[in-house]
Structure 1
Amino acid sequence: MDKIKEKIQNNSRETRQELRGRILTYCAIGLILIVVISIFLFVALKGIATFTQDKASLKTFFTGTNWNPGILGSDGKPLVGALPMIAGSFGVTILAAIIATPFAIGTALYMTEIAGKKGRNVLQSVIELLVGIPSVVYGFIGLTVVVPFVRDHFGGSGYGILAGSFILFVMILPTVTSMTVDALKAVPKHYKSASLALGATQWQTIYKVLLKAAIPGILTAIIFGMARAFGEALAVQMVIGNASLLPTSLLTPASTLTSVLTMGIGNTVMGTTANNALWSLALILLLMSLIFNILVRWIVKKGRM
């Protein structure tokens, strides 16, 4: 009888502990959801004020090239043409991803298929070191090394999308490489064994089997790298030239959404047209982050199918 009572008490105690654990878990999840939704609503309300409160034209915002929110145009609406910043952001992001992808894939293949244990450890240490370097250090190196290099070998002032892409290439390389390594390691080992058993060489196996099987993971790595590049501010701001002009080439000074935000947000008054316009740029950044995440989930889903 005593044993039965003790067993009931233990079960009751475990049930209470499980209940408390669930409550704490749900509270944490609820808090995270509230924070995320609050951030999104706050940025969205501030961002759309440019169009609802200041009566700016949505078409002008996405297609105009004149960025001067404090001045009204001939139509009585603020000059908030954000196309130069949008083009600059996509320009440096896409170019950095194009440059980083082959380096990342090559490094990941070397680490997973060719290098020995010592070589993998050395490369892993280098990748971790690149991740830990602050953005301002990348920007300073770009200012003193990359900008003069671009000026001497490609022409122009050295400031522009090309210089910004070189900096972002180094910054996103560790992210893309690490995720590509994980994607290659996730390929079932029997794929490789079957290919080698059929007489394929190591490089034929890598090219025709491993890379094809790891494509969803590699695409996910590239998109994550682009998301990192799209939101980078300080390093790009130091080398891109910060000119709110539509870039005509990779060598002309340009600007990005993040560079305009970081330079202008401290020089505006909350609630003014200039401030609301900056919040509209922030809303674009937030929406782009959401799009990048949706793309990642879609690629992962397709890969599983």
Structure 2
Amino acid sequence: MTKSPEQLEHELKRRSKAAKLEIWGRVVSFTALIIIAAVVVAIIGFVASKGLATFTTNHVNLWSFLSGKDWNPSITDAHGKPEVGALSMIVGSFLITILSALVATPFAIGTAVFMNEISPGKGAKILQPVTELLVGIPSVVYGFIGLSVIVPFTRATFGGSGFGILSGTCVLFVMILPTVTSMSADALRAVPRYYREASLALGATQWQTIYKVVLRAATPGLMTAVVFGMARAFGEALAVQMVVGNAALMPHSLVDPAATLTSVLTTGIGNTVMGSLQNNALWSLALVLLVMSLVFNLIIRLIGRKGRLQ
């Protein structure tokens, strides 16, 4: 039966099954993107509204909050103002984060170099499963190990109670090591092979090639790995809480008990009434954590963009 021109035109204009599936795929992807963006905006808005209530509702001075050393929201000072100084927790968080990153970086880069450049066969077979195993260990297990091993060792070696910045650094060092190692290995693998071949062809040794060529070419990726590890360390709560001492005091040495933003949040958020000054002050600490997480993400993006431009 011969089809009329109108029927042929209708069939040509009708979308095929593949085209319909493509449209549905775009709709689903766009919907998921909107939901994810809405969730992120809702989280940021919720934490910001709760955290800013300390300054808008309770009329706490922002500079006093960031620079004050005394943390006891249920007590007021001689001037009738609440003691909500967060400086000691901010300093404790940054100290543990920076020290753990400084200790973990040489081990992570050395492990990545061994797996990719020195012994890419046997080294990767042995170290890759070990790295993946460290990633899968829960935070509470790291905390128990630190409580049972690191704290007594610190107490016996350096004196004091054993709880403090040093113990928290040792625990976080092991926790962020697999993350920094994996990302460093990816950065080294991204270096083109002809970089190495050209260096060796010019007479450079293997170590000269690794140090002068491979590591320098992978510097943006290695820096991203370190900053990502610092972001992980800054937001860690349970393991640090178990070994740092949870004393909201300005640390004067690495073996003095201290506190971090996350440790104060986890220990105090369940013991306050919603809407009270004590609760709002804890939400302000959560807002500081959120802002620092955004800063870490911004730094990672800037480093990545710089690496692509190079």
> What's the TM-score once normalised by structure 2's chain length?
0.95
Q: Secondary structure at the match of 1:245?
A: coil
Segment drifting more, 61-70 vs 98-107: 61-70
Identity %: 63
**1:35 corresponds to:** 39
2:183 aligned with 1:179: yes
**Which whole-Å deviations, capped at 9, do the CAs of 1:89-110 have from their partners, x for residues lacking one?**
0000000000000000000000
Distance in 1 (CA, whole Å) between partners of 2:252 and 2:40 is 38
RMSD after superposition: 1.6
Distance in 2 (CA, whole Å) between partners of 1:253 and 1:98 is 21
Amino acid of the structure 2 residue aligned with 1:210: V
Amino acid of the structure 1 residue aligned with 2:141: V
What count of residue pairs does the alignment treat as equivalent?
Answer: 305
- Deviation of 1:155 after TM superposition, in Å, equals 2.4
Unaligned segments of structure 2, at least 5 residues: none
8 Å CA contact 1:54–1:78 kept in 2: the answer is no
Pair 9,121 (structure 1): closer, same or farther in 2 beyond 3 Å? farther
Amino acid of the structure 1 residue aligned with 2:138: P
**1:198 corresponds to:** 202
2:180 aligned with 1:158: no
Distance in 1 (CA, whole Å) between partners of 2:159 and 2:78 is 38
**2:30 corresponds to:** 26
**2:121 corresponds to:** 117
Q: Secondary structure at the match of 2:75?
A: strand
Q: Secondary structure at the match of 1:70?
A: strand
- Deviation of 1:9 after TM superposition, in Å, equals 7.0
Q: What pairs with 1:130-141 in structure 2 (closer than 5 Å)?
A: 130-141=134-145
- Deviation of 1:151 after TM superposition, in Å, equals 1.5
2:99 aligned with 1:127: no
**Which whole-Å deviations, capped at 9, do the CAs of 1:59-94 have from their partners, x for residues lacking one?**
111111110111222333221000010000000000
**1:104 corresponds to:** 108
8 Å CA contact 1:164–1:236 kept in 2: the answer is yes
Q: Choose from 63, 83, 108 the match for 2:87.
A: 83
Q: Choose from 267, 286, 294 the match for 2:298.
A: 294
Amino acid of the structure 1 residue aligned with 2:299: L
Distance in 2 (CA, whole Å) between partners of 1:15 and 1:190 is 42
Distance in 2 (CA, whole Å) between partners of 1:60 and 1:292 is 24
Q: Choose from 251, 256, 263 the match for 1:252.
A: 256
Distance in 1 (CA, whole Å) between partners of 2:150 and 2:107 is 18
Distance in 2 (CA, whole Å) between partners of 1:284 and 1:72 is 22
8 Å CA contact 1:54–1:77 kept in 2: the answer is no
Pair 79,194 (structure 1): closer, same or farther in 2 beyond 3 Å? same
8 Å CA contact 2:114–2:120 kept in 1: the answer is no
Q: Secondary structure at the match of 1:252?
A: coil
2:285 aligned with 1:284: no
**2:229 corresponds to:** 225
Q: Choose from 13, 17, 21 the match for 2:17.
A: 13
Amino acid of the structure 1 residue aligned with 2:181: T
**2:270 corresponds to:** 266
Pair 119,4 (structure 1): closer, same or farther in 2 beyond 3 Å? farther
Amino acid of the structure 2 residue aligned with 1:115: S
2:108 aligned with 1:92: no
**Which whole-Å deviations, capped at 9, do the CAs of 1:245-286 have from their partners, x for residues lacking one?**
000010100000000000000000000000000000000010
- Deviation of 1:26 after TM superposition, in Å, equals 1.0
Distance in 1 (CA, whole Å) between partners of 2:10 and 2:127 is 57
> What's the TM-score once normalised by structure 1's chain length?
0.96
Distance in 1 (CA, whole Å) between partners of 2:233 and 2:297 is 14
